[in-house]
Amino acid sequence: AQTVTQSQPEMSVQEAETVTLSCTYDTSESDYYLFWYKQPPSRQMILVIRQEAYKQQNATENRFSVNFQKAAKSFSLKISDSQLGDAAMYFCAYRSYGYGQNFVFGPGTRLSVLP
Amino acid sequence: DTGVSQDPRHKITKRGQNVTFRCDPISEHNRLYWYRQTLGQGPEFLTYFQNEAQLEKSRLLSDRFSAERPKGSFSTLEIQRTEQGDSAMYLCASSQRGGAENTEAFFGQGTRLTVV
């Protein structure tokens, strides 16, 4: 079974600065998807960024980018120019390549943004 | 379409009572997932449907839990004889079968269950 680990329960960053959230995973599969989801306080979870394992190029979405190291099974999220609205729980998630597989989530990292 | 909708948002029940939650997925999505999330933890998979078929269930889903998705549209999650350990946020998510661009899950706001 796949597992996802997030070793940083809490992180903080100064507004306008850059922060990196770590994620490692364990799998024997070669094809899969990785995601970062954001869960603001009392609000629903939304997708931040997605990476297909077969793509070598790291995904980027505006201020959000990932560092995907397939051999190391590492998938970190970098948030540039942090904003107050970035404060939330961030979950790293894994999904098998085959259709219909469920998502496996890490325990999350709580990000605080300091003004 | 306003996204995945869950009802109720909050439920307080006495231990031993039965509760039922409803999830309305995004209309064109044929996959529907139920997750449970306790405070400070990531979501834990409970079960998922493709259309009306329940294709996978977690071992976390004891026999007190049952889920249905009649006609492949909305889904219900019922917990019988609730226990205090059932207190959690119950999340529903849906996704669309398709190419690589359709791999993400869209989540509802969840139903927070408190068993007293």
Instruction: State the Cα–Cα distance between residues A4 and A62, nearest whole angstrom.
Output: 25
Could you tell me the pLDDT band of residue B60, with boundaries at 50, 70 and 90? confident
Interval B28-44: pLDDT, tens: 888 999 999 998 889 99
Q: What's the token pair of residue B87?
A: 């207190």
- In 3D space, the residue among A7, A16, A6, A11 whose CA is nearest the CA of residue A110 turns out to be A11
- In 3D space, the residue among B78, B72, B79, B71 whose CA is nearest the CA of residue B94 turns out to be B72
How close does chain A come to B60, measured CA to CA in Å? 14
Which pLDDT score is estimated for A100?
56
Instruction: State the Cα–Cα distance between residues B45 and B78, nearest whole angstrom.
Output: 15
Which residues in chain A touch residue B56, judged by CB atoms under 8 angstroms apart? 100, 102
Could you tell me the pLDDT band of residue B93, with boundaries at 50, 70 and 90? very high
Instruction: State the Cα–Cα distance between residues A51 and A49, nearest whole angstrom.
Output: 7
With 60 as the cut, is the pLDDT of residue B110 above it? yes
Which pLDDT score is estimated for B113?
98
Q: Is A44 on the interface with B (CB under 8 A)?
A: yes
Which residues in chain B touch residue A107, judged by CB atoms under 8 angstroms apart? 40-42
Instruction: State the Cα–Cα distance between residues B88 and B6, nearest whole angstrom.
Output: 14
Could you tell me the pLDDT band of residue B71, with boundaries at 50, 70 and 90? confident
Interval A56-109: pLDDT, tens: 899 999 999 999 999 999 999 999 999 999 999 999 999 987 655 788 999 999
